[in-house]
Structure formats: structure tokens, C-alpha cells
Amino acid sequence: MSERVAAFECRMCGHCCLGEGGIVMSPLDRARLAAHLGLAPEDFLARYARRSDGKTYLRTGEDGYCVFFREGCSVHRAKPDICRAWPFFRGNLVDEASWEMAQDFCPGINPAAGHAEFVRQGLACLRAEGVLERAAGGGDECAAALRIPPGLGEDL
């Protein structure tokens, strides 16, 4: 398999911005978004967040999409790490069957690249975005999908 085959290229379909409950924000995510929007942290939380099970989530609008979805992400530079990481979530990285199922949801995942290449490129992307480092220090409020097992992909 050529390493130049892209394992993922976003098609901007918006599926991953639809639905309640998926977008967990760490304290760093909240601070970044509040600063981006020019809001005090408490005002950002009151307007755009909800708490559940000890975690903080982005709200959705009446259309079911994330409050920041406007035919694309309107806070792209400041979006939460879980949005930066998709589709390179823990489940899709450690489990080939999950990666296959994710292809039904996300048309940006390229099946032709193969799972090993998806893992290799995914880890490189997460490192480049700083997501792995932040998730490692994120504590209990970090999304479980960002907790990548140590040593994953070292043999690739």
C-alpha cells in the first residue's frame, strides 16, 4: 500500500456535526472557544454548553446540528479537540471493525488506504494538532475517544 494514499479527506458533509451529546469540551477547549468568541468563560458556558455526567458538551440548535455549524464549522480555528481528532478516535484506531463501520458515517474515510495506514496517518495528525499531548494531560474531563493507548502504531 502506497503511503501517499490519503486515509482521510473531509467531504464537508456535516454528519459529524449533527446530533446531541457527542462534542465533549475539555477546560482547554472551553477557554479557547471563549477567547475566540470574545466571551467571558461563564458567558460562553451559559450560552453554548451543557453539563452531563461530569462533562461539558457543546449544545445543539433546533436543527439538531452543533450550535456552531453554519454550512461548515464557524469556529474552525478554535474548535474542540474532539472535532480536530475525528475520525481518528480511539475506537477507530484500535479496532478495524469500528473503522469499517465509521466509513458508513463518514464519507471522508478512504477504505482503499487500509486500516494500518489509517492508524499511521491518524496518529501523525493527532500529534501534529497537539491533541495527543493535550488529551494526556486532560484528566477526567477529556473525551474517552481521545485517550489513545500508549504504544499504538509503534510497529507501523
94: burial class by Cβ within 10 Å (0-12, 13-18, 19+)? Answer: middle
Q: How many residues bind ligand SF4 (CB under 6 A)?
A: 22
Burial class (CB in 10 A: 0-12, 13-18, 19+), 58: buried
Q: How far apart are the first and last CA of the chain?
A: 12
Query: x/- site string to ligand SF4, residues 53 to 82, per CB under 6 A?
Result: -----x-------x-xx---x-x---xx--
Kindly identify the residues of this chain, within the stretch 7-36, that bind ligand SF4 according to CB under 6 A.
10-17, 23
The smaller minimum CB distance to ligand SF4, of residues 41 and 150, is found at: 41
What binding mask, one character per residue, do residues 81-120 give for ligand SF4 by CB under 6 A, x or -?
A: --x--x-------------------xxx------------
Is residue 31 within 8 Å of 37, Cβ to Cβ?
Answer: no
The residue among 102, 88, 74, 105 whose CA lies nearest residue 147 is: 88
Min. distance of Cβ 65 from ligand SF4 in angstroms? Answer: 7
Interacting residues with ligand SF4 (CB under 6 A):
10-17, 23, 58, 66, 68-69, 73, 75, 79-80, 83, 86, 106-108
